[in-house]
Structure 1
Amino acid sequence: MHVVVNAATSADGKLSSRRREQIAISGEADFERVDRLRAYSDAVVVGVGTVLADDPHLTVKDESLCDERLERGEPKQPARVVVDSKGRTPTDAAVLDDAATTYVCLSEAAPVGSRMDLVDHAELVTAGNDRVDLLRAFAALEEQGLERIMVEGGGELIFSLFEAGLVDELRLFVGPKVIGGRDAPTLADGEGFVEEFPLLHLEDLERLDDGALLRWTVED
Structure 2
Amino acid sequence: MHVVVNAATSADGKLSSRRREQIAISGEEDFARVDRLRADSDAVVVGVGTVVADDPRLTVKDESLCEDRLERGAPEQPARVVIDSKGRTPTDAAVLSDAAPTYVCLSEAAPVDTRMDLADHAELVTAGDDRVDLLRAFAALQEQGLERIMVEGGGELIFSLFEVGLVDELRLFVGSTIIGGRDAPTLADGTGFVEEFPLLELERVERLDDGALLQWTVKS
TM-score normalised over the length of structure 2? 1.00
Q: 1:133: how far off? A: 0.1
CA distance in structure 2 between the aligned counterparts of 1:143 and 1:53, rounded to whole angstroms: 30
The match for 1:113 is: 113
**Residues 92-148 of structure 1: CA deviation (Å, up to 9, x unaligned):** 000000000000000000000110100010000000000000000000000000000
Name the amino acid aligned to 1:161. Answer: L
Aligned residue identity for 1:131: R
| Residue aligning to 2:92 | 92
How far residue 162 of structure 1 moved from its aligned partner, in angstroms, is 0.1
Determine if the alignment matches structure 1 residue 182 to structure 2 residue 182. yes
Secondary structure at 1:125's aligned position in 2?
A: strand
1:56-86 per-position Cα deviation (integer Å, ceiling 9, x unaligned) = 0000000000000000000000000000000
Look up the match of 2:7: 7
Corresponding residue SS for 1:176: coil
Q: Give the alignment of 1:1-220 within 5 angstroms.
A: 1-220=1-220
Amino acid at match of 1:54: D
User: Which AA in structure 2 matches 1:68?
Assistant: D
Q: TM-score, normalised by structure 1?
A: 1.00
Q: Distance in 2 between matches of 1:15 and 1:83?
A: 18
Aligned-residue Cα RMSD (Å) equals: 0.2
Cα distance in 2 between the residues matched to 1:150 and 1:8: 14
Q: Which runs of 4+ in 1 moved over 4 A?
A: none
Which amino acid letter does the alignment assign opposite residue 181 of structure 2? G
State how far apart, in whole Å, the 2-side matches of 1:74 and 1:91 are. 27
| Structure 1 segments unaligned to the other structure (5+ residues) | none
Mapped partners of 2:93, 2:126: distance in 1? 20
Alpha-carbon distance between aligned partners in 2 of 1:137 and 1:83, rounded to the nearest angstrom: 9
CA distance in 1, matches of 2:56, 2:121: 16
* Structure 1 residue 210, shift from structure 2 partner: 1.0
Letter in 1 for 2:34: V
**Partner SS state of residue 217, structure 2:** strand
Q: How many residues align?
A: 220
Identity %: 87
Q: CA deviation at 1:208?
A: 0.4
Q: Distance in 2 between matches of 1:209 and 1:93?
A: 30
* Counterparts of 2:113 and 2:174, CA distance in 1: 41
